Amino acid sequence: MTRASGGALVPQRVPPSALARLARTRAAPEDLVLLRSALHGRRLVLLKSLLTRLERQPGAVPARTRERFEAHWRLLERAEARHAPSVRDTLDYPAVGTWLARALAAPAGPPLVGELGHFGAVAAAAALRSGAGFTVELATPAGVLALPGIGLLETGRPLVRLTARSRTARLTGPGSLRPAVLLRSAGRVTGAGRGWRGLRRLPGADALLDDLDPYRAPPGGVGRAALPPAGREGTDCRTWTRRWRAALALLRATDPHRAAETTALLRCLVPVAGPPDDPGLKVSATYRAAPGAVLATLPPTAADLAEVLVHETQHSKLAVLHDLLPLHGAGPEALHKVAWRPDPRPLAGVLQGTYAHLALADFWDRAVRGPALPPPARRDAAERRDSYRRQVAEAVPILLESSELTPVGREFAGGMERLLAALGQPG
């Protein structure tokens, strides 16, 4: 994280075998390592871009804001020197990607000042997880301090002092009589005390149920209905946990490889508040700035949540792969009709949707052919497989006939076509 190296992205080669596996929607362990490394490299580039902007535009923010940013950068450097994996995990958390995108797009002046204030929380979260000892003062917009991947402190005060020792840390504010206390162990941080709420871990995985981070969803909302993320009070944790357990069990019973891929790439599940006038509306999304986060309304069944996880994992994979190795040069002008959306889609949307639905066709095909499902569930799986296969069969020719694909993108689409053919005709 030094100034010289913080933004250095080491060029990564994608072996033909890896590209072929990814085109068939099934990544090997070494492919997942490649994708995670590429994601981290991009985060470093974006973070260094933010620093470069401040260096080249000294009048963009007041001097005091710039000084605080540099102090927090030094804290991040010390944390990396102590335990680099903790810094990497923190910077790669999806909400940090959303924050970075917003900070880089913020106009100079108060909007940029407001976004830069969150960098202190990012650095502090990384330092807490690294085990480093430190003391830092952090701005708390609206009286709230959000530590990415850890939790949130509501203080009602504009400033918080965080003092970290070997196994504990204390969060205090001006006039605070009862500080929140954080416990540090093996890279994980838990807490207790007035105003503290920690993120909850999903069972059987390293992913979190994130209903706290202010950057867990884009500011414009989720999906065409622009739904807001659900807050802690609006999240039924028990129901989400039960559905998650059942969905993960279904994935592991029918397709262990895809279950492992999903749990390896998923960092957080973000509940989305459904509209009161349409409680049955199903929405899920993954955003290019924040791969590894699945944003969704509560799926009605375990099979539906398993679908969401498989579907959105493909979006995360493709977002990272496209940044590493551009698959197309398409703009938003050319639109194409697809079976899964009522509105025409640009080529980028066609590629993303085709890839996700192809993975679902493959998943349900394996469920049908395997012994794990009882007959009624196997019939449902067959119907889902055939529906997704038909949708993909209509979309693949759009990709193959497009002049907007790069040579690598054309090779990738060819691999998707071969998987489609291997799935056989609907039965």
Q: What is the pLDDT along the chain (427 residues), one digit of tens a residue?
A: 655 444 444 456 889 999 999 999 999 999 999 999 999 999 999 999 999 999 999 999 999 999 999 999 999 999 999 999 999 999 999 999 999 999 999 999 999 999 999 999 999 999 999 999 999 999 998 889 999 999 999 988 889 999 999 899 999 887 655 789 999 988 899 999 888 999 999 999 999 999 999 999 999 999 888 999 999 999 999 999 999 999 999 999 999 999 999 999 999 999 999 888 887 789 999 999 999 999 999 999 999 999 999 999 999 999 999 999 999 987 777 789 999 988 899 999 999 999 999 999 999 999 999 999 999 999 999 999 999 999 999 999 999 999 999 999 999 999 999 999 998 655 4
- Count CB atoms within 10 A of the CB of residue 79: 25
Which residues, 6+ apart, have CB-to-CB distance to 127 below 8 Å?
Answer: 75, 76, 78, 79, 134, 136, 164
3-state secondary structure of 40: helix
pLDDT of amino acid 12: 67
189-195: long-range contacts, CB 8 A cutoff, minimum separation 24: 189/125, 189/128, 189/129, 189/147, 189/150, 189/151, 191/150, 191/151, 191/153, 195/153, 195/154, 195/155, 195/156
pLDDT of amino acid 3: 57
Query: pTM value?
Result: 0.94
Q: Which domain holds residue 101?
A: 16-198
Instruction: State the Cα–Cα distance between residues 90 and 186, nearest whole angstrom.
Output: 14
Q: Does 373 fall in a domain?
A: no
Same domain, 159 and 39: yes
pLDDT of amino acid 8: 43
| Helix (H) or strand (E) segment spanning residue 139 | strand 134-139
Same domain, 172 and 72: yes
Which residues, 6+ apart, have CB-to-CB distance to 385 below 8 Å?
Answer: 360, 361, 364, 365, 367, 368, 423, 426
Class of residue 424 by CB neighbours under 10 A (exposed 0-12, middle 13-18, buried 19+): exposed
Which of 247, 278, 313 lies at the terminal end of a domain, its last residue?
313
CA atoms within 13 A on the CB side of 226: 2
pLDDT of amino acid 269: 98
Domain count, the chain: 2
Q: Does 351 fall in a domain?
A: no
Which of 295, 313, 331 lies at the terminal end of a domain, its last residue?
313
What dihedral angle (degrees, nearest 10) is formed by the CA atoms of 75, 78, 80, 82?
-140
Same domain, 242 and 174: no
Q: Does 87 fall in a domain?
A: yes
For residue 380, give both structure tokens. Answer: 């449902």
Residue 411's nearest CA partner among 17, 6, 11 is 17
Q: Does 2 fall in a domain?
A: no
Q: Does 62 fall in a domain?
A: yes
Q: Does 338 fall in a domain?
A: no
Which of 157, 174, 198 lies at the terminal end of a domain, its last residue?
198
The total number of residues written for the chain in this structure: 427
Same domain, 20 and 156: yes
Q: Does 367 fall in a domain?
A: no
Same domain, 194 and 204: no
- Count CB atoms within 10 A of the CB of residue 192: 10
pLDDT of amino acid 370: 92
Same domain, 99 and 178: yes
Q: Does 42 fall in a domain?
A: yes
3-state secondary structure of 198: strand
3-state secondary structure of 93: coil
CB 335 within 8 A of CB 344: yes
Same domain, 109 and 248: no
For residue 337, give both structure tokens. Answer: 């009709």
| Helix (H) or strand (E) segment spanning residue 191 | strand 188-192
3-state secondary structure of 105: helix
Same domain, 150 and 260: no
Instruction: State the Cα–Cα distance between residues 123 and 50, nearest whole angstrom.
Output: 14
